[in-house]
Structure 1
Amino acid sequence: MACAELSVTGAPLGDLPLHGSFLDAVAKAVADLAAETSDGGPAILVGAPWRDGDRVHDAVLLLDGGKVAEMRFAQHPSPPFDAGAPAGPIAVRGVPLGVLIGAELDDADAAETLRETGAEILLAPCASPWLAGMPDLRLNLAVARVTETGLPLAWLNLLGGQEEALFDGGAFVLNGDCSLAVQAEAFAPGLFAARFRRGPGGWACATGSLAPPPEGEAALYRVLLLALADRLAKGGCSAVALCGGEQPGAALLAALAADLLGPDGLRDGPGPGVLGLATCDKTGLALGHAGTDGDFAPLRDLWAGELRRLGRWRNRQSSAGTTEPAVPEAALTEPGSDPDPVLAALLDNGRAAYGQDAEAYETALLAAEGCRRRVPPGPRLSRTAFGRDRRYPVVAELPGRPAG
């Protein structure tokens, strides 16, 4: 019987400059953690930016026996990292693990090479941001690698926030026959054990906890709670204040704050340790109706219609006997004219939108870029979020843009 307790952590660094003092601090933290393995306890696999001569890599390091015992560098890294050379499996207490770092999980050749060089279990430490439908996409990708290699695969993911990206955890283990052996709870910190036994057909993981990931409004509400909790923790804040008056998102943000912080977590105005929440939504950003006050905009990538559906879902979760809904019904009233379908067609589908007000909406969309750039940052929850990846010129001669 073999029990592997593997802790894999990491975060995308984006445009962070990997200067010497930062890398020195990482190396010291890794050395301190490695020292904790000198007592014969579990080995640890940890992700870290790692300097190798004049190159910096996205690395996975094996800490065992009080030192960095082995390391592997990502072959397909994102900037600012340098690419590593192909390498074989890492031997962890005599068990050869094939480590697929980040985008290597997308590469069938990388997994096959690890199998051919002796890997007996595949391990995929990732920083995969949450988007709707992502859990199924991850599972399908893992199934493809298992089907090709015949090896069991443990998939691990970051939990928390990093700038506009949110990571939902939700680790899982597939056996060599593609059966799901373990599924950790999404959006929740904690440890889980994957217990492998080696038999005539190779390694197999015993069935453990199976927690299906939440879907629909349940997943969306959890990811918003995660976004708010992460921002509060990293900013050293203990309460929130709403900035933006009676915009539709204000009632939903008040419910989120109450669920996360309790009734005393919502303040009337700014102050020490108070995070200002912008109440704007994607509909307001598209049309230029969004307020620019506040420090953080949790709802900026959700359409106003999505907020109403989410509010109704939250009200259905209220405890029996509750007299007042968490989100007042007045905030959930459908508008007489809903711009969301036309705006979504313009943004999400990459094609011209048709409808009675399509031209006016497109003109407003083009003219609102200056407003959007003044709105506080917030989490990215869709593939077409406004921000670095989707911007319009603030001033340009474009069809439909009003003069001035």
Structure 2
Amino acid sequence: MVEKLNAVKGMNDIAPPVSAHWEWLEERLRVLMRRYGYRNLRTPIVEPTALFVRGLGEVTDIVEKEMYSFEDRLNGEQLTLRPENTAGVVRAAVEHSMLYDGGKRLYYMGPMFRHERPQRGRYRQFHQFGAEALGFAGPDVDAELIVMACDLWAELGLEGIELEINSLGQPEERQAHRKALIAYLEAHADQLDDDARRRLHSNPLRILDTKNPSMQAMVNGAPRLMDHLGMESLDHFNRLRALLDAQGIGYRINPRLVRGMDYYNLSVFEFVTTQLGSQGTVCAGGRYDGLFEQVGGKAAPAVGWALGMERILELLKEQGRLTEPWVVDVYAVVPTLAALPVAMKLLRQLRHLGVNATMHAGGVDGVGSMKSQFKKADSSGARFALVFGEQELGLGMVAVKALRVVQEGEQSQRLFPLDQAHEWAQSLRGA
């Protein structure tokens, strides 16, 4: 017997009916992007490894431990399955000179890859949706992106998502804070865990994001980056706050909020929830004005966010916001082989009129019993069964039987003329 092959651990199939929920969410995201004037960009899943080493930082967890990297056997090129897509978006913008005629608002959607321990809402192949505004320097675009995310939560009916914001300032300000932070942490070296000791001189900002309870009090007393910000950085942050206040958007300033990639500066933000256990961040982003130069382009301002599709779907499920979408409007029940040509012709016409229709099929020696066909019609999720009975066809009609809840005043079964489908097809369409 041939050995059974399974999917790679942490890389999951998304099959019906669950895939319908993904399509539902994806469509709402696309509609939101159109409303805000963001256009779709599709980048390769595989990128040069150097793109992430430069963009994310050599000492980040992603680059050090989580990337799926390999050597192309044909030409020896070092390649990586993308662990995130902001760097790829900027690489594409530089390569194709996208900003030659002004700023661009872009969005992307697709799988990312990180070698992590699979857990709820966190997988080795996961899916992100991101919005990126390239070429815009002011805090107005930072605010626009945050407002857009808030509009998404309202559109999806999600509750209990809180906004945290912070400013990382500019590189020279972070450098001054870094020196003060290292000095403080060295003075409290006896309280650092192994991970913090490893990060002490390579990436001390990440120590502030520790989840170790025994380090919380010490970390709370650490020097704050906000205290090292210059007037321009503070002005950018305060103008962002004023714009959010004007929109009535609540937020909490979290001085310990940092991002896992080195390319961020000035505004950073996260949308968090307490309803997904340890995976509380559902959307995160910020400004990354230095990334264009890091990937070999001319300096350009940029800001964006990304959300985890799996986490949003988990949260929708947790809050009871996921309803089973209607996949099929009608299911054709065909009692005899002689009725097949008529059924197929009508179904094709209905599809052209916007009705989602499927037909009982697969019988080698016949079409199957009426009982079995109705059973499959019901399990298909269809709202109606179209019955091509011999008697109905003799009258030039088709019987339409409701398979779901019948509204008050409606009939459970009706007859419609075969040659007037354009007049009654709309009544079969779902919302």
Q: Which has the higher relative contact order, 1 or 2, with Cα contacts under 8 A spaced 6 or more apart?
A: 2
TM-score in terms of structure 1 length: 0.22
Q: Flag the structure with higher helix content.
A: 2
TM-score in terms of structure 2 length: 0.21
